[in-house]
A and B are shown apart, each in its own frame.
Chain A
Amino acid sequence: MAEKVIYAMYDDDDVLKDGAKKLVAKGVKVADVFSPFPIHGIDPIIGVKQTRLGIMAFLYGLTGTALATLGMNYFMIHDWPMNIGGKPNDTYLDNVLSFIPITFEFTVLCAAHGMAITYLLLNKTLPGMPATNPDPRTTDDKFVMELRLSDNNQFSEVELMSMLNETGVIEVDQKDIH
C-alpha cells in the first residue's frame, strides 16, 4: 500500500532542530532527518537511540584476542615448538611476552574491521546501493525532515502542513512511497 510522506526542507540545522522540538512537543512523530552532516542534539528530539555498535566493536576485539591466543598457542607451543634464541616455550605462559604484539594487532584488526563491516551492513551502505535521500541538496546545505501520515494519525494532512509552516520550512514536498 502506498504511504503518504511529507518532506519538509530547511536551510539551517538549528532551524530544523528548533522546528523538530516544537513539532514533537505537539505530539508529531518525526520519522527521519536527512542532513549533510551530523546535527548534534537531534537524536533525542526525534527519538533516535544511541547505537550499540561500540559493544559490537568490543566483542569483535575479544574475538580477535581469543583467536590470536589460541592460534599462537597451537602454532608455537603444540604443533611445532621451536627453540628460537633460547626463548622459553614449554608452555604458552612461558612464551607469552613474545606474543603480546601480535595479540594486540590482531585484536585491533578484528575490532576495526568487524565494526566497519557491521556499520556498512546496518546502514545498507554498500557499493552499488541506490541513494535514498529525498533531494540531492540534502548532501550539500539543505536539511530535510520526513513525516509519515501513518505515524501521525491524530493529525490531518492540513494540520500537519500548517504546523510545519510555522517552523521556518523553505520547501515542503509530498510523495507516495511504496
Chain B
Amino acid sequence: MHKEAAIREPLILGHKTYHEITDDVCKPIEDKAPRMWYILFGIALIIGLYGVGCIFYLLGTGIGVWGLNKTIGWAWDITNFVWWVGIGHAGTLISAVLLLFRQKWRMAINRSAEAMTIFAVFMAGLFPLIHMGRLWVGYWTLPLPNHFGSLWVNFNSPLLWDVFAISTYLSVSLVFWYIGLIPDFATIRDRVKKPIPKKMYSILSFGWSGRAKHWNRFELVSLVLAGVATPLVFSVHSIVSFDFATSVIPGWHTTIFPPYFVAGAVFSGFAMVQTLLLVMRKAMKLEAYIHTRHVEYMNIVIMVTGSIVGTAYITELFISWYSGVEYEAYAFFNRATGPYWWAYWSMMTCNVISPQLMWFRKLRRSLLFTFIISIVVNIGMWFERYVIIVTSIHRDYLPSSWSMHYPSHIDLGVYVGTIGLFFVFFLLFARFFPVLALNELKTILKSSGESYKNDTAPVHPYFAKHGHSHGHDDHDNTHNH
C-alpha cells in the first residue's frame, strides 16, 4: 500500500466502506431517474433534434446555407470543430497523464471526464464531415486504392493528418474508457435484480470475474494505454493547429500554434469538466468523492494552462509587430481594433483575466465561483477560435474582397444542436453508466479515505486480534514517523 502524508487532504470524505462506495455509485443507476433528469434530457433532446434537422437541411441544400462567402470560407464550422476537440482534451489528459504521474485524485473524475471527451470528439468529428457537403463520400478521406477516385489521399496535408489524429484519439480514448468500465459493469451486473438490466449489464461486462491474473493484466494494460495515450493527447491538438499553422495566411502562419493550442485545449477541457461535475456531484450525491479539493486541483490546472494561453496571446501580438511583416502586423492590429474587436476583447477577458483570479485560494475553492468561471472560460475559448479563424481571413490581401461573416440561423442551429446532442449523450451516460470508477476508488480508500487517515476507521476484527498486517502496518508508520 502507498503511504500518504497525514497532512494531505483526504480524497474520500467521511467514513466509507467498500460496500458503501458501490452503493453510492450504483444507487442513481438502480433507482428511478429523478424528474429533473427527464426535464434536462427532454430539453437536450429537443435541441439536439433541432440540430439534426439543420444538418439534414444543410446536406440537402448545400453548405451555401451557412453564412460563408468567397472570402470567409471557414467560419463557425471549423470554430466549433476546434472548440469541441479542445473540450475533448481533458478526459484523456486526466486518465492518462495523471495516471502516469500517479495522481490519485484523478480516480473520482476520470470516468466522467473521459465520457465527456468521447462525446465532445463525436461532436467535433461531425463538423468536418458535414462541411464536406457530401457526407456520404466522407470515406474518401481514408487511404483507399485509387480506383475510388483518381489519386491517393494527400499524406503531405495536415488535413489528412487530422483525420488520422482525431480517429486514433477517439478510438483509443473509447477503448481506454471501456476497459476501465468493464469491472464496474460487472459490479452492477452482480447487483441488479431485474432481468433486462441484468442481461444488458452482463453483455456490457464481457463476463468479467475479477481474477488475480486478470487484474494483473488490467493494471498493465491501463498503464501502457496511458503511456501511449499521453503523447496522443498532445499530438491531436498540435495537428489541429497545423491545419492553420502550415498555411500562409497572416495570423495563422505561426510556429507558436501547437503548444498554444494544446494549452488552450486543456484549459477549455478542464473548464467543461468543472461545469459538468459540479452539477453531477450534487445531483447524484457524490459530494464525498468529488469535493472542494478535486475542484481546487482542476482549478490549478485551469490557472496554469490559462496563463500559458495568455502568454501565447501576448507573444503572438508582440512578434507580429517585431517581425516587421506588415501583413502579419496588420492581422493582429485588425483583430484588436477592427470590426471584430468585441470578439478579440471577449477572448482576452475570458481567457487571460479570469484564470488569474484562481491565484486566490478562497476563489479557487469556491464552487459557485468555479462554476461561473468554467462557463466564462468556454465562452472565451469559443471566441479564441472565432478570432483566429474569421478575423484572420475576413480581410484578404485585396481590399476589394474584404468581407464580414454573418452567421445564418443554420450556423446557429447546427452549433446549438451539437451542444444538445452532447448533453443527450452525457445524460444517458450519467443515467446508465457508473459515473465514478468505483472499483478504482476502492484501491485508494485505505490510503486516502478521511476516516483511515485520521484513524477513526474501525480496525478490522482480524487485525484487532492478531495485531499485525502489512496494510495496517504501513498505515501506522505514516503516523509514527
Contact = CB atoms under 8 A, between A and B. Distances in A.
B224 to A, nearest CB: 5
Interface in A60-107: 61, 71-72, 75-76, 79-80, 82, 84-85, 87, 89, 95, 98-99, 101-102, 104-106
B239 A140 contact: no
A109 interface: yes
A131 B221 contact: no
Interface residues of A, number: 74
Interface in A36-57: 36-43, 46, 48, 50-51, 53-54, 57
Given A84-B154, A131-B202, A116 B217 contact: no
Most buried by A among B22, B164, B217, B219: B217
Contacts of B161: 101-102, 105
Given A14-B460, A36-B439, A37-B439, A132 B171 contact: no
A12 B462 contact: yes
Nearest to A57: B224
A112 interface: yes
Given A36-B18, A131-B189, A139-B187, A75 B182 contact: no
Given A36-B18, A71-B143, A80-B152, A127 B206 contact: yes
Nearest to A133: B209
A116 B218 CA distance: 10
A18 interface: yes
Contacts of B151: 80, 82
Interface stretch (B226-234, B310-318, B350-358): B226-234
B172 A109 contact: yes
Contacts, number: 229
Given A115-B224, A115-B225, A128 B203 contact: yes
Interface stretch (A1-9, A27-35, A155-163): A27-35
A174 to B, nearest CB: 19
Contacts of A116: 175, 179, 221, 225
Interface stretch (B73-81, B274-282, B388-396, B465-473): B465-473
A84 B185 CA distance: 50
A131 B183 contact: no
B156 A76 contact: yes
B134 to A, nearest CB: 23
B117 interface: no
B219 A80 contact: no
Contacts of B17: 141
A119 B175 CA distance: 11
A92 to B, nearest CB: 11
Contacts of A130: 202, 207
Contacts of B152: 75-76, 79-80
B442 interface: yes
B231 A102 contact: no
Contact of A133 (B160, B190, B228): B190
A14 B443 CA distance: 11
B220 interface: yes
A126 B228 CA distance: 23
A168 B471 CA distance: 15
A104 B235 contact: yes
A11 B80 CA distance: 50
Given A120-B206, A139-B189, A36 B442 contact: yes
Contacts of B165: 101, 105
B463 A17 contact: no
A131 B182 contact: no
Nearest to A97: B156
Contacts of A42: 212
A141 B22 contact: yes
B168 interface: yes
Interface of A: 11-15, 17-18, 32-43, 46, 48, 50-51, 53-54, 57, 61, 71-72, 75-76, 79-80, 82, 84-85, 87, 89, 95, 98-99, 101-102, 104-106, 108-109, 111-113, 115-116, 119-120, 122-133, 136-141, 168
Interface of B: 1, 17-19, 22, 143, 146, 151-158, 160-161, 164-165, 167-168, 171-172, 175-176, 179, 182-183, 186-187, 189-191, 202-221, 224-225, 228-229, 231-232, 235, 239, 242, 439-440, 442-443, 446, 460-463, 466, 469-472
14 contacts: A36-B439, A37-B183, A40-B1, A43-B216, A53-B220, A89-B156, A105-B235, A108-B232, A109-B167, A112-B225, A127-B204, A129-B206, A133-B210, A139-B183
